[in-house]
Amino acid sequence: MAWTAPMTAVAGAVFFSADYNTYVRDNMFELGVAKATVPCSIIAGAGPNAVEQRTPTWAATTAGSTTTSTSYTDLDAGPGPSLTVQSGSVIAIWIFCNQYNTNGTAAWMSFAISGDSSISADDTWAIQFQGTDGDRNGAGFVFDGLTKGSNTITAKYRVSTAGTGYFSQRRIAVWPF
């Protein structure tokens, strides 16, 4: 079914069952309340006269882990945290962690998007801390131009040039639109 611009009634004209089914029943099935199934979701536009349910979600990995890689990769303890969401072309993503580098150069946390979209982790959307004492910070990024569908956001990590990067309290929050 799809939304159809509602008919204009004319005095004296018969209101047919087909009119009801097209302009009332089928249009009602296209309303946000008809699409609502998952608590805490929002109703977002999905194109002209179309809405879909989008569900914000988040994940955390509190345990610490390390990497010595100077390009973005998974930590030694394994990938993540990671989230898969149904999204339109726009997603808001927040990342957070406690991070430091044993030799005082920077430690970086970014994220990659895979699935129907493909975006590599990059310093352009990263948080970075240069120091040997862990500090806790976060940042938010909004991506547009994504491919609508199932998209997976996975945290990735690196160090600047040397040393061992340590990362704990790693968190991702995703709000798909």
Partner 1 sequence: MAWSSPMTAVAGSVWTAAQWNTFIRDNLNECETSKALTTSGYSVVTSLHRLSERVPQVVNDAAEVVTDQTSYSDPETLAAGSPVVPGPSITAFTGQKALVAIYGAPRTSGGTAAWISVEVSGATDIPADDTHAIQNHVTDPDSWRSGATFGLDLTEGLNTFTMKYRVSTSGTGHFTSRRMAVIPF
Total residues at the site for partner 1 (CB under 8 A)?
43
Contact present, 163 and 105 (Cβ < 8 Å)? yes
Tokens at 132, concatenated: 């040997």
Within 8 A by CB and 6+ apart from 3, the residues are 26, 27, 30, 49, 50
List beta partners, residue 106: 130
Query: C-alpha angle with apex 144: 92 to 146, nearest 5 degrees?
Result: 100
**Residue 44 or residue 159: which is nearer to partner 1 going by CB?**
44
Rama region for 149: left / alpha / beta (φ>0; ψ in -120 to 50; rest): left
Among 10, 40, 144, 145, interactor with partner 1 by CB under 8 A? 40
Query: Footprint of partner 1 on residues 63-122 (CB under 8 A)?
Result: 94, 96, 98
For residue 90, the number of C-alpha atoms closer than 13 Å in the C-beta half-sphere is 7
Among 42, 46, 90, 119, interactor with partner 1 by CB under 8 A? 42
Among 76, 122, 123, 135, interactor with partner 1 by CB under 8 A? 135
Query: Footprint of partner 1 on residues 145-174 (CB under 8 A)?
Result: 169, 171, 173
Regarding 5 and contact with partner 1 (CB under 8 A), the answer is no
Tell me which residues touch partner 1 (CB under 8 A). 16-18, 20-21, 24-25, 28-29, 31-34, 36-43, 53, 56-58, 60, 62, 94, 96, 98, 131, 133-140, 169, 171, 173, 175
